[in-house]
Structure 1
Amino acid sequence: MFKNKSYIGISFVILIFGIYAVPKIIDRIQDGSIVKGARLDNVSNEETKGDKLVLIGPVPKFDLSNQDNQKVTNEAYKGKVYVLEFFFTKCPSICPKMNVSMLEIENKFFGNPNFGIISITIDPEHDTTKVLKEHAAELGVRSSSWNFLTGDKAAIFDLSNKGFNLYAGENDKVNGGFEHSGLFALVDKEGNIRCRKDDFGNPILYYDGLDKKGVREIQQDITILLAE
C-alpha cells in the first residue's frame, strides 16, 4: 500500500514537471538555445558581437601586368574587397565554370567602387596581355576593377602554391597541359584573406568557384566585408 502511494506521488511529481518544463524545452529547441550553459551562451554572444568572418592572414604580395599592360599590385587593391582566382585562357575543364561563377559575382556587385576581381593566369607564356584583353572581351567583362594578370611564370606558381596554397601545376597528361584549383580567395579592404566557418566551426579558407553554394556564400560574405 505504501509503495503504491509512493508510485502515485512520484508520478504526480513527474506530471507536474512535464507540464511546467516540456514547453520550455520545446521553446529552447525551436530557438536553437538548448544545451547551452552560461559559458557556452557567453561564447555564442561574443561570436555574434565580433567579426563574422575569420581572418586568415595578409594576402601574399604580387606585382603583375593586366590586360591593358598596366602594373597591378596587391597594394593597388587596398580599400577594396576583392575575389581572386588562378586560371588560364585555354583551360578546357573547370575554367569555363569558374568564368560563369565569377561573372555572377561581377554582376551582383557591378558598379560598386569598393569591389574588384583578380584573375591570374598560370600560363603566362600563352596568356599575354593581348590575349587576356581578348579573353575579357569574349567573357563580356564590364567592370574596370576586374584585372586579368600575367607575368613571370615562376613567380606566379610561387604565388599560387606557396603564397595562397592554391594548387597550380603543369601536367602534359591532362587536357590543356595545366592543373589548378577551382577555389576563390576572398580579400578584405585591409588586404587580409577572410572566410566563413563550416558546419563544424572550422575556417573553410577558400570558396568553391565550381559550386552554386560556394558562389552564394562568397556573395553573402562580400556583402559583409563591404559593410565593414
Structure 2
Amino acid sequence: MKNYSYIGISLVILIFGIIVIPEIIDRVNEREVVSSNRSDGQEERASAGIELDYIMVNGEKKKVPPFEFVDQHGDTISNKDYEGKVYIAEFFFSTCPTICPIMKDNLVQVQDVFAENDDFGIASFSIDPQHDTPQVLKDYAERTGITHDNWHLLTGEREEIYDLANAGFNIYAGEDEAAEGGFAHSGYFALVDREGFIRSRKDAYGNPIIYYRGSIPRKAVVEPGEEQPQIDILIADAKKLVNDK
C-alpha cells in the first residue's frame, strides 16, 4: 500500500510540475518584460489631453527675466535670441561629477528629437563661470554630443548667473564646499514658451509640477514611490508648445 501511495503522490507532483510551473515561469517573464519596458511609450501616453499651465507668482505669470551671456562660440546670447522659440533651461558646470552627466545625456536625447526644428532651443548656464570659459564649453559641447544650433552653453559674471538661477528661475544654484565638485544645484529643467513664460503640466493633484526632473535617466526603471523619470513628458510638453503657434 505504501508503494501505491508514493506512486500516487509522485504522479500528482509530476502533473503539477507539467501544468503549473511553466505558467508561473511565463508570468514571471511577463512581469520582467513589463518592468523593463515600463517607460516605453511614455512620451506618447503623456501627451494625450495635457494642458500646460503658467507658473503664477503673486498673481502674475512667471517670465524669464532679461539675460545676456557669452556662449561656447564666443557669441553674445541674450533672452532675445530665444524669442519666438520654445526652449529648455538648465544650470550646470562642466566638471560636475554627479548629476550633470545624466542631465546632459537626457538633454542630448531631447536635442535629437528636435534636431531639425529651428523653433526649439536649449540654454545651459554654467554656475562655475571662472572655469567654464567659452573654449572650455566648446570642448565640452564636442565631447558630449551637443550639435543643435540653438543649444547655447552660457558663461559670464558669476553673480548674474546665480541671480538668474535663484531669483529668475527659482532653481537653486550656488557654491558649496561640502558638495562634490564644489557647487550645488537642483538638477531641474525649466520649460519656456515662445513668449518667455515658464510653463509646465499639472501633477496628480492638479498643481503645476513647475520643473522637470533632469537628474534621473530617461529610461530608468524605478520602484513605486521613487521619483519617476520625466524626460518623456518634457519632450511631449515641448512638442505641444512648439506645435501651438
Q: Which TM class, normalised by the smaller chain length? A: 0.7 to 0.9
Give the Cα separation in 1 of the matches to 2:80 and 2:152: 14
Matched to 1:225, the amino acid is: L
Residue number in structure 1 paired with 2:144: 139
* Displacement of 1:169: 1.2
Deviates more, 1:168-177 or 1:114-123: 168-177
* Letter matched to residue 240 of structure 2: I
Q: Which of 184, 196, 221 is equivalent to 2:189? A: 184
CA distance in 2, matches of 1:101, 1:140: 11
Give 1:72 shift.
Answer: 0.6
Secondary structure of 1:185's match? strand
Counterpart of 1:121 in structure 2 is 126
Q: Which residue of 2 aligns with 1:14?
A: none
Q: Secondary structure at the match of 2:230?
A: helix
Aligned to 1:214: 230
Structure 1 counterpart of 2:63: 58
Matched positions, count: 179
Q: Distance in 2 between matches of 1:216 and 1:162?
A: 27
Tell me the amino acid that sits aligned with residue 214 of structure 1.
Answer: Q
Between structure 1 and structure 2, the one with the greater Rg is 1
For 1:133, the aligned partner's letter is: K
Q: Deviations over 1:74-100 (max 9, x none)?
A: 111011000010000000010000011
Q: Which amino acid aligns with 1:52?
A: E
The alignment yields a C-alpha RMSD, in angstroms, of 1.1
User: 1:161 and 1:191 mapped to 2: Cα distance?
Assistant: 17
Counterpart in 2 of 1:23?
A: none
Matched residue, 1:223? 239
Distance (whole Å) between structure 2 residues aligned to residue 71 and residue 55 of structure 1: 28
Q: 2: CA distance between counterparts of 1:127 and 1:117?
A: 17
Higher helix share: 1
TM-score (norm 2): 0.71
Q: Could you say which residue in structure 2 is the equivalent of 1:88?
A: 93
Distance in 1, matches of 2:109 and 2:204, equals 25
Deviation for aligned residue 1:121: 0.2
Distance of 1:76 and 1:58 partners within structure 2: 15
Displacement of 1:199 in angstroms is 0.4
Which stretches of structure 1, 4 residues or longer, exceed 6 Å deviation after superposition? Answer: none
Name the CA distance, whole Å, in 2 between partners of 1:121 and 1:70. 15
Q: Out of 156, 161, 165, which is 2:161 matched to? A: 156
For 1:130, give the aligned amino acid. Answer: Q
Take 1:173 and 1:209, find their aligned partners in 2: how far apart are those partners? 22
Report the Cα distance in structure 1 between the residues aligned to 2:147 and 2:164, rounded to whole angstroms: 26
Q: CA deviation at 1:174?
A: 2.0
After TM superposition, give the deviation of residue 101 of structure 1 in Å: 0.6
Deviation, 1:173, is: 1.9
By how many angstroms is 1:59 displaced?
Answer: 1.1
Separation (CA, whole Å) in 1 of partners of 2:186 and 2:66: 19
Alpha-carbon separation, structure 1, partners of 2:134 and 2:241:
30
Instruction: State how far apart, in whole Å, the 1-side matches of 2:201 and 2:114 are.
Output: 19
Amino acid at match of 1:53: L
Q: For structure 1, which runs of at least 5 residues remain unmatched after alignment? A: 1-47
